Every structure is written in C-alpha cells, then in structure tokens.
Amino acid sequence: MNKKERFLAAVRREVPDVVPVALLIHNRFALKFLGRMGWKAVSDLYRMIGSIWFRGPLSISFDVKWPSGWGRRSRLIEERGARKVYEHIIETPMGKLTSKVMYGMVPSDPALSRTIEYFIKTEEDYKIYRAYLEKFIERAEPYIEEVVEAHRIMGDDGVPSVGSDCCFSHLCSVRGPENLLVDLYRRPETVREILDLLGEVKVIEVEAFLESPSEVLYYDVWGSYDMSPAHFREWIFPDLKRTVDQVSREDKYVGFYMVGKIKDQLPIAIEARPHYIEPFELQSNITLGEAKRLYGDKICIMGNFDPVVLAFGSV
C-alpha cells in the first residue's frame, strides 16, 4: 500500500498494512518552518516530515460576477509592526456590512488571527446578509482548479481533502459564536432562514467537491461545542445528514471535524453516518480510546497532533 491507500483504507475502517499518521499541519506551522503559507507550503512540509496530507488549507473557491452595487472586497486598514488589521466589506444596494480581522498580536506566531468585528451586528444586518446570500446563490460558480492541481501534485503522497464549514459554523464566522447562540433564543426564525440559504450554498459546494478528483470532504462543525444535545439535533444534525447523503458515491468519503466538549453530541453526529470524525483533542470531554470503544464499529475514529505543540513544545 502507498500512503494514500493506507489512509483511505483506514477511513473505510479496513486494516492497512501500516497505521497511517497525518500530522495536523496548517498555515501557522508551515510559516514557522518554511516562511510561507498556503496548501503548497503545507504539502511540502508533509513531505519533509515523511507524513501524509489529510487536512489542510484547501477548499472550493467561487467566482462571482457581481452586478452593479454588489460585491465583496478586503483592504488593509492598520499596520503597526507585526500587527495588521484587515477590513472585509460586503456591499449590497440595501447597505454595507464590515468585518475586521487582526493578525500579528503574537509576534512569534504571525499567522494567528482573531476576528475583532463580525459582519452581522443587528437585525438589519441579518436582512442585508440574507440579500447577499440570495445574490451569491444566483451568481456564484464553483472553481475547482486548485483542488485539481493539489490532487495532481500530491499524487499518492497525500489525500487532498476539501474542507468546508457546516452551515452553523459558517454563520458563526459571520455573527460570532456567542451572539449566534443567543440568537437561537432571540430570533430563531431569522437564524433558520439564513441557515436554509447557507444550506443551498453548501449543496453547490459539495457538488463541486464531487466533481473534483479529491476523495475526501471534511465538514467542520466548529462553533457547536457549547450546544445541548437537543439544540445540536435541531440546528446542526439536518445539515450534517444532508451533506453525508449527498456524498453517497463509492469513491468519495466525508467526515466531521468536531472540537470541544462533544461527548453528548457524538451519538447524534454518528446518526448521520459519516465515514470518520476527528480530532478528539485535549479539550474534548471524551478520549480517543473511549470513542474507539464506543463507536469504533461504526466510524473511523481519528486523532491528530496539535501544530502549536509541534512548533513551540508543550503548552
């Protein structure tokens, strides 16, 4: 077996000839060692270490031909030493949304970022974002050439998995996780309307993955870690189930990226029948071994090393 065959065999819950090990290498670790970022840098670092790419900065892109009065752009608005602040702008005829992301607040880890302002701040902002999504769905064309190139370059040395945020995680990045959890009580119908539109976006995104040569989709369930099982079933599970059902081809696989206190959410997520769940990191309230004993007969249980620990030692 080559590296790719070993990993895909494990995802199928078969027994490879050698246990595959894929370190969790992302942009921050690549920048630390190579001085550059992006999927090519991460892929080079996997090869240097002798590991295999399984999850990294690779996703489906979109080309959008915006009509007059619509658009999305970014600009650098502050730079002081290593600190940089970028403003991201969504423009619609109904109004403008802005978000700010800061980099360089930890000089030794310059790729580390923090969102200091989210796009959605008010009820009116939700309406603007809804209009933006409707126009995006109407105009967006998926772009898979980068995935095609990654698949060609990695060959049998990597599994160029495509990453995507689930609908709730996507909305977390726009509204902020704490505010979004409160909105489930304050304005549930508004949240549901936006999640339904994001569901349409994800269907387009997953279809593009299916048309690409990539074998694996990892679906990020970030932001749901403080949810009760009841809320997880109501707000997260339908999206997970739809995505797994859409990835129903023999040569394609899908798994969930779940962090935080996920013990009570795992049985629900497994009902969607993904091929794997990862990473069972130190903050999880269930160990990799416990998860293996409970669910190893249903899915591939996957754990990862932390790139911060690899770069800087124990923390």
Backbone angles phi, psi at 189, to 5 degrees: -70, -35
Q: Per-residue pLDDT tens for 211-241?
A: 999 999 999 999 888 799 999 999 999 999 9
* Burial class of residue 231 in the structure, from the number of CB atoms within 10 Å of its CB (0-12 exposed, 13-18 middle, 19+ buried): middle
Q: Per-residue pLDDT tens for 18-41?
A: 888 877 788 888 998 899 999 999
283 has a pLDDT exceeding 80:
no
Task: Give pLDDT, residue 311.
Answer: 63
Domain boundaries, the chain: 3-60+144-312
Which amino acid belongs to residue 295?
A: Y
Q: Per-residue pLDDT tens for 126-182?
A: 999 999 999 999 999 999 999 999 999 999 989 999 999 999 999 999 999 999 999
* Burial class of residue 162 in the structure, from the number of CB atoms within 10 Å of its CB (0-12 exposed, 13-18 middle, 19+ buried): buried
pTM reported for the whole predicted model: 0.92
Strand-strand pairing, 276-279 and 253-258: parallel
- CATH architecture group of domain 3-60+144-312: Alpha-Beta Barrel (3.20)
Print burial letters for 277-305: b (CB count within 10 Å at least 16), e (below 16). Answer: bbbbbeebebebeebeeebeeebbbbebb
Return the closest-CA partner of residue 254 out of 56, 2, 11, 62: 11
